[in-house]
Amino acid sequence: MKNNHNHILRLGLPKGSLQEATIEKMGRAGFNIQISSRSYVPYVDDKEMEIRLIRAQEISRYVEHGYLDCGITGHDWVKENGSDVHEVGEFLFSKATRQAARWVLAVPENSPVQSVKDLEGKRIATEVVNLTKKWLASHGVKAEVEFSWGATEVKAHELVDAIVEITETASSLRANKLRIVDTLLTSTPRLIVNHDSWKNEWKRKKIETMAMLLRGALEAEAKVGLKMNIEEKNLARLLETLPALRNPTISTLSQKGWVAVETIIDEHIVREFIPQLKAAGAEGIIEYPLNKVVY
């Protein structure tokens, strides 16, 4: 049964580890979502949108078959499910880091396995059975791949010869005395759309707007706005010596001979940047957070 409501966009969001980060980012994009313990359908302050919280592993299948118009899920699960969907874009909002997640082959530190070729005839545990089988086949290796329901890292020492597990920092693997042998797939969250929904003009525009706002919210996370006043005679030197001030907004102040300068810069350089601004003659420097940066 497909969604036939032309002016309702049904969006699937990942339940579980990415849930909190996704809802927080959607809020920054302007879509305030509230989850109630009394209902499996979250509230969103947009009458043209319905939200469903579904395991990331399943979202691509529901999008492909039209139960959802679109959804946010990992690239890994699209590949694992072999889903035929349209991809609008990728969005890095990992709960732990801004790094992409990796599905890696890992073995105990003292394992003789040094490469994929050493897995011939061995047993591997993983949640991404299809991905692993395809990867092994691409290397001409035959091995037994079993589905892991959890605690995969623990199994590597006693129950199987190797595991394929997802990681961002590899800290959990190291803590379990495992070493990475190879990377099968790098994955980031993607906004995916059902092909029929993408052909619908109203839904496509709604999805493109949501993607633009979400992208703007993510861009804003790593940047801040800066405002400052400076004497006009010092402006050229300020812009010349501080190349990070690209395309600033400059406006005349009521005080003759002074201008206001406003710009956006990467947050990580602010602590070194502000003293340089002060030394160049800037006064009344204000740093402020941003909600969205749309290019």
pLDDT digits (tens, 9 = 90+) for 86-106: 999 998 865 445 678 899 999
Secondary structure element (H or E) that encloses residue 10, with its range: strand 9-15
Report the distance separating Cα 16 and Cα 84, nearest Å. 24
Query: pTM to 2 decimals?
Result: 0.84
**Position with higher pLDDT, 273 vs 246:** 273
**Taking a C-beta distance cutoff of 8 angstroms, is the pair 280, 241 a contact?**
yes
Q: In the numeric block, which tokens belong to residue 144?
A: 């037994």
Q: In the numeric block, which tokens belong to residue 291?
A: 């909600």
Write down all domains in the chain, each with its CATH number in brackets. Answer: 9-96+189-220 (3.40.190.10), 101-186 (3.40.190.10), 222-289 (3.30.70.120)
Tens digits of per-residue pLDDT, 188-236?
999 999 999 999 999 999 999 999 999 999 888 888 999 999 999 999 8
- pLDDT score of 15 more than 70: yes
- In this prediction, residue 21 carries a pLDDT of 86
Tens digits of per-residue pLDDT, 50-93?
999 999 999 999 999 999 999 999 999 999 999 999 999 998 86
Name every residue whose Cβ is closer than 8 Å to that of residue 201 and which is 6 or more positions away in sequence: none
Secondary structure element (H or E) that encloses residue 210, with its range: helix 201-221
**Taking a C-beta distance cutoff of 8 angstroms, is the pair 234, 258 a contact?**
no
What mean pLDDT comes out for the span 238-260? 84
Positive/negative CA dihedral, 200, 202, 203, 209: positive
φ/ψ of residue 28, rounded to 5: -65, -30
Task: List the beta bridge partners of residue 260.
Answer: 229, 251
- In this prediction, residue 5 carries a pLDDT of 56
Query: What mean pLDDT, rounded, does the chain reach?
Result: 91
